[in-house]
Structures are given as C-alpha cells and as structure tokens.
Structure 1
C-alpha cells in the first residue's frame, strides 16, 4: 500500500526532474543518494528487470519545484517511515521449529500485501527470518538481483525465491518433505515471460499454487476431497482480486488519504518538513491514483462495497462449521487472505471492514494463530 505510493511518487518526481528544460537539482540527488542501504547479496535466482514508466511530464521551474516536492515527500519522507521498522526479526519461542536450520532473509516493503502474506506464513510456522526493508524509490538493497520486485526470500544466502506464492508453496513443500532441497523444489515452479495487452513484459510462475508432494503426502495434508483445490482457488483469489481492493479503499477520499498518510508520518516520527511533504503531497497523489485503480478494476463508485462483498464471500466460503478454511487450523488460503487484509490495520478502511462485515471473528483467530506460531504443531 504505502510501498505503491512511494514508488509512484518517486517515479513522478524523477519524471518531472528529467523532463526537457528541467535540470535535476544536485541537492535532491544527494538526498536520494544518501538513503541507507543494507548492502548487496549474491543471487543465484532468476528474474527480469522491473518495469518503469513516466506518469507525467512538466516543463520549466514549476516542474522542477514540484519534482523536488514529490521526491522529498514520496521518496525520502515515506521511506524514513518504513525505515523505522527495519530490524533483525527472529520468530520468538521454541528453536526446534520445523526446518529451523534454514537461514531465511526476507526483502520487503513493510506495507506491501504480498510481503505481508509471506510474513504471515513464516510467523505461523515459527520459522526464524531476518528482514531487510527495501527503499521503494532507490531499491539499493536489491542491486545484487536482476529481479527488482519484492518480496524476495533468500535461503542460506544462495537460493533466491521470487513471488509471494512461489515462496510460500516452496517452503511449505519443504516443511512437509525435506528429502528434496529448496533448489530442487524451486525447479517445479518455472518462470514464464510474456507481453500483456499494454505491451508490458510480465513474469509469471507456473504451478505456483501447487505443493509438490507425493500422493500419500497429499492425502495426509488434505484428508477430505476437494480441500486442495479449494485452498488453491482462494490463494489465487487473494492475489488476483482481494489485493486490488486495498489501495482504492485506503485512499478512497481526500480525507482518508490524508488520514492514511498522517498515520504513516506519525508512526515514522517525521520532522516537520519531511512530514508535511509526505502527508500532503503523498495523499494528493495517491487519491488520484486510487481513482485510476478503481476504473481499471471496474469497482463500484463506493469501493467499500466491493471490499465488504469480497470479505463476506470469503467468510461464507469458510462456512459456519469450520473455524478456518483449513478446518481447525489455518491453511495457506487463510494465511494469504489474512496477510493481505492486515496491511490496512490502523486505517479507516480496516475499521469499516471489521464493523460492516462478518470477518472479525475469523480475523482475530488468525491473529492469535500467527502470533503463537500455531503451525509448529
């Protein structure tokens, strides 16, 4: 959510500064260049370069000033907010968790729903992992990788897993059957590149919602008919639909956009100068972008209704006889949906969702399961 905003504002700023007749100020370059980095890592994975586009182009001194504002507000300011969360994160409790010998490093944006999905999965299964917060504007922390998106999960510093669903499926497969290495399992999710209708190159991963298990293992993990297909269906639903409802709802109105950025600034303990740009310039830009997203995904005028319907559809699919989609314990679909919804916590959209849908009971149970590492058993 905030990561989308930061990257977009950074692109806007650079577009303004690089427009004909606009000279890039040295002060902005030095400020952006001094954003902290966590160093480089060697990559043995594969991936394509990120896609960059210019959102607008303005000329003259006015464009230069506005470009500076966008870079300072959307880049430096918002990044310092998420940088407050940079930490060495180790799951608490029993070190005898399954596959605890794996050294895991997660490259992420804290408020990215796909990254939140991966954290929910790792926390639920009690897997220790280290977090590297990526600067959404400069992305220096990913300079070692040809794959420029997050999340990325590094295993033992030499195996790179890309795409949140591939990460989850690969690690879950390994937890069930450790006869094969992570590298061997990763080969079951081949990368496929194509060009979409807009002419943009996109990367997809085959089989990413499948666990690579033998027949006996599948029967053990999915004892009832249809459980595996149901899990896969709702994992894909979280990626293809639910995640696209987040930004339009968080930045639905100018007031909500301001409140969202006020929350981000307050959490980051900004100085007055940085806080001003992050809040007002960022909120204005994301309000406009949210309108575009609403049109792109054919959402209703009141996007809350799409969010409410999606969440209630999820609760209805679980039904009254099950505690989770997975039964008595969460499955991968539960963790995916929880991870996506969690990024709205602290904002009006989240409060409205909890008040006007039937999701609260399930959501609170999921909170406890992830905090208590319920998947260890």
Structure 2
C-alpha cells in the first residue's frame, strides 16, 4: 500500500513537470482526482476542497509554482519508495539472520505454556539463541495440532516439513545438528526410532530409542564431553528429570484446593482459552486436578507432605552438581541443566515454587540458569 501511494505521488510530479504551464491547473486537478481514487479519502482528502483549491491556485499564479509543486510530489514519492524498499530489505535481512542464527532452520513450536516438557524445549532454544515461533495449543480442543497423528505437545516443526516429537528427542536432535552439520535434521531423526508398546495399565504408549544420546563422531563427543563420565552423568539426570522430577510438579502445584485454583488461574491466563471455556477450565479443571494429584501421589509413592519429595529431589540435584561447579556441565549448562531448569520453571509464580526456593539449596543454581538462558549464553 505504501509503495502504491509513493508511485502515485511520483506519477503526479512527472505529469506536472511535463505539462506546459498553461495546462498545469487541469493536470493537477485531474491527477489529484486520480490519486484520491487510488488511495483512501482520509489519505488524500485532508483539508477537503479548500486544500485542493489552494494547490490549484498556486499553479495558476505562476509556472514556477507548478514546477515547485511537481518537484515536491517527486520528492515525496521518491522518499516514500526509498522507505518502502529500505523496510523490505531490512525485513528480508532480519529473516535471513534469524535462519542463520537457527543454523539455517525455521522452527515452529506447538506447546502448552505451562507444560514442563514444552518448557524444557523452550529453555534449550532460548539458551542456544535459536529463533522460533510459538503456536499455543488449546489443551481441550487441540485444533492447532489436528493435522498431526501425534496428539501430544511439544511438537517442533523444522522448515515446515520435518516433525520432531518428544521433548528429549527434540533437544538431542537439535544439539546434534548444531554441532555436526554433516547430516540434515531428518537424517538425524532416524537415529531415534519410534517404538509403540503398552504400559502397566494396558494403554498404548510411544517411546523413542536413544533419546538421551547426542549423535556425534568420536572427536566431536570428546570436545563436548572433555572429562570422563560427563556424558553418562548428563544422560542419567536428563532421564531423572523425565522419569521423576516431572511427576512431582502436579502433586505440588495442586496440593490443596487453594493452590489448585491458583494454578488453574495461571494456566487459563497463560493458555489459549475462550471466556466460557476458561471459566469452566479454571473451576472444573482445578477440582479435577486436585483429585488427580492425590492419585499421582499414590502412584508414585510420594509422602503425605509432597513438598518433602520436591525438596529432596532438588537438593539431590544440587548435591550432584557439587560445590566446585556452577552447573552440572561445569562453567556452562549442559542438557541436564537445561532439562531440570525447564521443568522447575513452570512452577514460577505459584506457592510451590516460592516454598522450594525458600526451603532448598537450589536458589543460586536456578538464578545462574535464569541468567544464562536470558542472555542466550549458548549461542556461540
């Protein structure tokens, strides 16, 4: 639209300058009418008929006035075209820079804002400075992922055609790609075969082989894990985050009816809900999750005071890092750091998070992780 207005102004200026002085009044009147037709009345009609008559009278007075007017139209049109082209070039360069920063990939994350597995993926992407678009999925209707046979989140689409499922597969695949550029993401994905099985309840579940492995050459592995045992330690704690830490979140954030309501108030506020759907989700969902959290407590053999299990878990994590390291990865976070941080982060703003920070030793590590992620310290 801006470009068409600019071209119209240039056209007006050229016609004025090309016209003999005696004809400029008619020329200006005709072209102003055409310009008004191609744009909105608000854009070209400001000042009404009085404004138009003043332009015409300036042309009648002298041929020099017409030339000045023509030059003004040309200058205005030229500046408009320059700004339009400049904006489009900057936009294109920004898009290209984003793709370079993302290792040449266009990433789209389908998520629930409050899902700990989605938060793990965001922590990884943010830390490594990988630009990505977010599609917030309605957790009730899930229309945003109706195209996918895999009906869970997170889902990461790469360049619009490669689909990565499961948070740990997403992270391992992208880490492999960022270090080793010899294979495409689709080729790397073949290293994590999908296997369907049935759990203890008889429900079919999808699992992925090798999902905690970063698929590198021997030389690349030595650079990423310079000390003996670092790789196994990272894999062990990544799996711990998935198999244990995640299961402590719901029983803690829905521990009481008050905490359940506060949690669902946050979920509705951050999620993709309509007005009535949000009201229903908040009160019915809170009541349902309060009951479900009690079942989860029994299923995972948690203590009556589930906070104690949360405290013990994060203190075990801090003890595993030790006093000589800033992170489990040493001076920089590794994939286990990012996984644990991503899981714990979903409790921010809730009573369970405040209690955890006040009653455990996790605070200093957590603040370092916040800073590292916010500053995209893994970008290089």
Secondary structure, aligned partner of 2:326: coil
Q: CA RMSD in A?
A: 2.2
Compared CA separation, residues 163 and 273, structure 1 to 2 (3 A):
closer
For 2:288, what is the secondary structure of its paired residue?
helix
Equivalent residue runs for 1:211-360 within 5 Å: 211-265=214-268, 276-360=279-363
- Give SS of 1:160's match: strand
Report the CA distance between 1:324 and its aligned residue. Answer: 0.3
Q: CA deviation at 1:272?
A: 8.4
State how far apart, in whole Å, the 2-side matches of 1:244 and 1:320 are. Answer: 27
Structure-1 separation of matches of 2:281 and 2:325? 43
Question: The residue matched to 1:202 in structure 2 has which SS?
Answer: strand
- 2:190 aligns with 187
Quote the residue 1:197 is aligned against. Answer: 200
Which whole-Å CA distance do the structure 2 matches of 1:230 and 1:97 have between them? Answer: 31
Q: 1:151 aligns with which of 143, 150, 154?
A: 154
CA separation of 1:138 and 1:277: change in aligned 2, threshold 3 A: closer
**Structure 1 gap segments, 5+ residues each:** 1-90
Aligned equivalent of 2:51: none
TM-score, with length taken from structure 1? 0.72
Q: Which residue is 1:132 aligned to? A: 135
Match of 1:107 among 95, 107, 110: 110
C-alpha deviation, 1:140, in angstroms:
1.1
The aligned counterpart of 1:364 is: 367
Question: Is the 2:253–2:260 contact (alpha carbons within 8 Å) kept by the matching residues of 1?
Answer: yes
Q: Which has the larger radius of gyration?
A: 2
SS in 1 for 2:200: coil
Match of 1:81 in 2: none
Q: Does the Cα contact within 8 Å between 2:112 and 2:271 map onto a contact in 1?
A: no
Change (3 A) 1:272 1:100: closer
Runs (5+) with no aligned partner, structure 2: 1-93
CA deviation after TM superposition for structure 1 residue 283, in Å: 1.8
Contact kept? 2:261, 2:286, Cα under 8 Å: yes
| 1:11-22 → structure 2 map (5 Å cutoff) | none
Highest relative contact order (Cα 8 Å, sep 6+), 1 or 2?
A: 1
Q: How far apart are 1:278 and its partner, in Å?
A: 3.7
Shift of 1:219: 0.5
Distance of 1:144 and 1:240 partners within structure 2: 29
Alignment size in residue pairs: 286
Choose 312-321 or 143-152, whichever is displaced more. 143-152
Q: Contact 2:138 / 2:273 at 8 angstroms: preserved in 1? A: no
TM-score by length of 2: 0.72
For the residues of structure 1 that align with 2:182 and 2:254, how far apart are their CA atoms?
47
For residues 276 and 128 of structure 1, do their structure 2 counterparts lie closer, same or farther at Cα, with a shift above 3 Å needed? Answer: closer
1:45 is matched with which residue?
none
Q: Is the 8 A contact 1:100 1:128 kept in 2?
A: no
- Residues 106 and 267 of structure 1, relative CA distance in 2, 3 Å threshold: closer
Shift of 1:266: 5.7
Superposed displacement of residue 277, structure 1: 3.6
Q: Is the 8 A contact 2:114 2:270 kept in 1?
A: no
The answer to which structure has the higher helix fraction is 2
CA contact (8 A) 1:108 1:152 kept: yes
Distance 2:329 2:101 in 1: 19
Matched, 1:141 2:167: no
Secondary structure in 2 matching 1:375: coil
